[in-house]
Structure 1
Amino acid sequence: MSRPKNAMEIFKHLEKSNCRECGEKSCLAFAGAVFTGAKPIDACPRVDQVTRDLFQGGAGETGDNGEIYFAELKKEVKSCDFAEAAQRLGGNVSGERLILKVLGKDYGVDHDGIFHTDLHVNPYLGVPYLNHVLHGKGVQPKGEWVSYRDIPGGREQYSLFHRRCEENMKRLADTRPGLFEDLVHLFDAKAVEAQFQSDISVVLKFFPTVPMMVCYWDDQDDLGSSLNVYYDSTAIDNVDADSLFYLGTGFTYMLERLAIRHG
């Protein structure tokens, strides 16, 4: 993995077709997003594997450290008491697997650290899942919603979280009016009474005790639209701040890929 010195170093490795399939207006804009950590290099569907390996992690991410941490957590799960974890976290044990509901779908893991699910397994979801299983306290949500920047340990990463999660999800909501209906149907989200005077509010459950709320305000009086993400105040008791970062940004990236795939 390479740490690029500037966006132009990334740009020279791109196709330069300005196809916009990554969600940016140009390849140069995409290179800038990768350099700042706003988007991963593989958000470009046309990038080759050599370039992907070269710049995975951009300038502002942990890069392959995420994979290393993922591997360490998989080792820890070998000694995890699944029956105790299921009782603590609201899951169940089936055979040799611990199963939790993740975005409304069964997400299981065995003692070898192998996942069993229809959802795509990657560090953005796998790391928080294992962190939750191993260290989550099982504290029930209170319905008290706070910004990621107000989560203990979140303030330092909020600027990046805002760019990679809230701003990118807002762009999707602006261009795809059916986004929130898709969240309800695909990920078992629940439309709730509008919070913080928003126009739309939906709640997703990454895990039974880790909900996330998305609030969207329409463009009114030419002031522009806005979108904010909130976690329940108890989320930090059930998963760490880094994992909440991964959940929000990784889920947004997944939505971007779905939007590209389905037009």
Structure 2
Amino acid sequence: MSRPKNAMEIFKHLEKSNCRECGEKSCLAFAGAVFTGAKPIDACPRVDDATRALFKGGAGETGDNGDIYLSALQQEMKECDLAEASRRIGGTVSEETLILKVLGKDFGVDREGKFHTTLHVTPYLGVPFLNHVLHGKGVPAKGEWVSYRDIPGGREQYNLFHRRCEENLKRLADGHTGLFDDLVHLFNAREVPPQFQSDISVVLHFFPTVPFMICYCNDQDGLGSSLNVFYDRTAIENVDAESLFYLGVGFTYMLERLALRHGS
């Protein structure tokens, strides 16, 4: 893992074709996004393995630390009472596996820390899930929506969260008018009456007690569109601030990869 001193150190390792497949306007812009933490290095589908290894875990990524954190939590699962955890967070236990709905899909973990799911598990999802299983209080959502910066422990990371989650989600929504329909069909989201003067508001559930709301305002009178995301005020009782960061950023990254795969 390398900590680049500036964006040019990253740029010199890129293809320099300006293909825009990463969602940025140029390879130089992408290098800047990786340097600031707005994009992970492997958001470029053309980057080679050597470059990916060189900058994986750079500024703003979970990188090696995320993998280490995930492994530590998986070890903690050996001491977890699955039945107690299930009652606490609203899951079920089947064949020694705790199962919880994650984005509308069954997501399980056993006492060895092994995941049982059709979703692709990275530290962005695995770390919050295990933190929720091990330490979540199961406090029901109240419908009181707050920005990540207003979550205890979130203010310090909000600028990075805004770049990597909200700005990248807005870019997706601007370029893909069917994004919100996709959220409904793929991740069991539901459209709700517009909140915070938005044109579209949808709510999905990372976990049963951890909802996530996306509010999008269309471009009006040439002033530009806007997008903001919100957590329920009780989210911090069910998962820590770092895990909420992982969830928002990881979900955005997953949508970017889906859009890239389907040519949106």
Q: What TM-score bracket applies, with the shorter chain setting the length?
A: over 0.9
Amino acid in structure 2 at the alignment position of 1:65: N
Following superposition of structure 1 onto structure 2, how do residues 23-62 of structure 1 map, counting pairs within 5 Å?
Answer: 23-62=23-62
> Residue 216 of structure 1 aligns to a residue in which SS?
strand
Residue in 2 aligned with 1:158?
158
Residue in 2 aligned with 1:96?
96
Equivalent-residue separation in structure 2 for 1:217 and 1:66 (angstroms): 33
Cα deviation digits, residues 118-155 of structure 1 (max 9, x gap)? 11110000000000000000000000000000000000
How many residues align? The count is 263
Which ranges of structure 2 fall in alignment gaps of 5 or more residues? none
Equivalent-residue separation in structure 1 for 2:146 and 2:58 (angstroms): 29
1:254 aligns with 2:251: no
Equivalent-residue separation in structure 2 for 1:60 and 1:242 (angstroms): 12
Residue in 1 aligned with 2:199?
199
Following superposition of structure 1 onto structure 2, how do residues 65-214 of structure 1 map, counting pairs within 5 Å?
Answer: 65-214=65-214
Equivalent-residue separation in structure 2 for 1:9 and 1:150 (angstroms): 35
Residue in 2 aligned with 1:21?
21
Q: How many Å apart are 1:58 and its aligned residue? A: 2.0
Q: How many Å apart are 1:112 and its aligned residue? A: 1.1
**Residue pair 1:151, 1:236 contacting (<8 A) in 2 also:** yes
Q: How many Å apart are 1:62 and its aligned residue? A: 4.6
Cα deviation digits, residues 189-216 of structure 1 (max 9, x gap)? 0100111111000001000000000000
After TM superposition, the score normalised by the length of structure 1 is 0.99
Residue in 1 aligned with 2:245?
245
**Residue pair 2:201, 2:216 contacting (<8 A) in 1 also:** yes
Equivalent-residue separation in structure 2 for 1:62 and 1:19 (angstroms): 26
Cα deviation digits, residues 24-51 of structure 1 (max 9, x gap)? 0011100000000000000000111111
**Residue pair 2:142, 2:233 contacting (<8 A) in 1 also:** yes
Q: How many Å apart are 1:63 and its aligned residue? A: 2.8
Amino acid in structure 2 at the alignment position of 1:193: P
Amino acid in structure 2 at the alignment position of 1:259: A
After TM superposition, the score normalised by the length of structure 2 is 0.99
User: Percent of aligned pairs with the same residue?
Assistant: 81
> Residue 202 of structure 1 aligns to a residue in which SS?
strand
Equivalent-residue separation in structure 2 for 1:25 and 1:62 (angstroms): 25
Amino acid in structure 1 at the alignment position of 2:120: H
**Residue pair 1:104, 1:187 contacting (<8 A) in 2 also:** yes
Q: How many Å apart are 1:111 and its aligned residue? A: 1.0
Equivalent-residue separation in structure 2 for 1:123 and 1:155 (angstroms): 22
Which ranges of structure 1 fall in alignment gaps of 5 or more residues? none
**Residue pair 2:89, 2:209 contacting (<8 A) in 1 also:** yes
**Residue pair 2:18, 2:27 contacting (<8 A) in 1 also:** yes
Amino acid in structure 2 at the alignment position of 1:154: G
Q: How many Å apart are 1:96 and its aligned residue? A: 1.2
Equivalent-residue separation in structure 2 for 1:234 and 1:161 (angstroms): 19
Residue in 2 aligned with 1:64?
64
